[in-house]
Chain A
Amino acid sequence: QKEVEQDPGPLSVPEGAIVSLNCTYSNSAFQYFMWYRQYSRKGPELLMYTYSSGNKEDGRFTAQVDKSSKYISLFIRDSQPSDSATYLCVLRVGQGGSEKLVFGKGTKLTVNP
């Protein structure tokens, strides 16, 4: 079983739709959860991060973590064409000098005007 599973999509929605992006993970040692956005031909950029189970909101974006189910989600409200990108869930595991990031493979999202 892969450490982090993410549906690659592609996902195509109309402008204004609510988008739900999801990842599951297998290792309960993951303790830090992030979402990155990657536009075509660009490097990934950090969108949101959280340590704990529950919801964290930032404008139109909400990150949700359920540690009991090992499930993380990113919701985008009122989606815009500028949200069209690949979204990566990224988890951190380890302690001290042995920490590392584990990346989902990304979900490609297209928001159509």
Chain B
Amino acid sequence: EAQVTQNPRYLITVTGKKLTVTCSQNMNHEYMSWYRQDPGLGLRQIYYSMNVEVTDKGDVPEGYKVSRKEKRNFPLILESPSPNQTSLYFCASSFRRPAEAFFGQGTRLTVV
């Protein structure tokens, strides 16, 4: 089954404790991206990757890092989480361009 898998689904952490949210896709897609979804603000892109070792900032990259060492994986790293990063996070992948994207199930992150 074609899918994008994110882990964990839910996470509560404390300010400043580094965390990683994993994302993996099994469709051999080149394009992957991370979004955060906040009430009243909709989905906003954090980072994206057009292929292995190629990443770039989206609209709200501050406080986040990503890496793309393998085609299937695109982890999101929060080096020092803060409460304003409490949000619902989605990983998405598409074949080559940001178009018909497959989204993961989401990771609800709470930073206290």
Same complex: yes
Chain A residues engaging chain B, CB cutoff 8 angstroms: 32, 34, 41-46, 49, 88, 92, 97, 99-101, 103-106
Question: How far apart are the CA atoms of A70 and B4 in the complex, in Å?
Answer: 32
Chain B residues engaging chain A, CB cutoff 8 angstroms: 4, 40-45, 48, 50, 58, 90, 92, 97-106
Partner of A99, one of B42, B90, B98, B105: B98
Partner of B43, one of A41, A88, A92, A99: A88
Contacts of B50 in A (CB 8 A): 97
Question: How far apart are the CA atoms of A44 and B42 in the complex, in Å?
Answer: 12
Question: How far apart are the CA atoms of A45 and B105 in the complex, in Å?
Answer: 10
Supposing A100-B45, A100-B58 touch, asked if A43 and B98 sit within 8 A by C-beta, the answer is no
Give me 10 other A-B pairs in contact (C-beta within 8 A), A42-B106, A88-B43, A100-B98 excluded. Answer: A42-B105, A43-B90, A43-B92, A44-B43, A45-B102, A45-B103, A97-B50, A101-B98, A103-B43, A105-B41
Question: How many whole Å from A99's CB to the nearest CB in chain B?
Answer: 5
Contacts of A99 in B (CB 8 A): 97-98
Structural contact, A105 and B105, CB atoms closer than 8 A: no
Contacts of A42 in B (CB 8 A): 105-106
Structural contact, B90 and A44, CB atoms closer than 8 A: yes
Structural contact, B103 and A44, CB atoms closer than 8 A: yes
Supposing A88-B43, A104-B42, A106-B42 touch, asked if A34 and B106 sit within 8 A by C-beta, the answer is no
Question: How far apart are the CA atoms of A32 and B45 in the complex, in Å?
Answer: 17
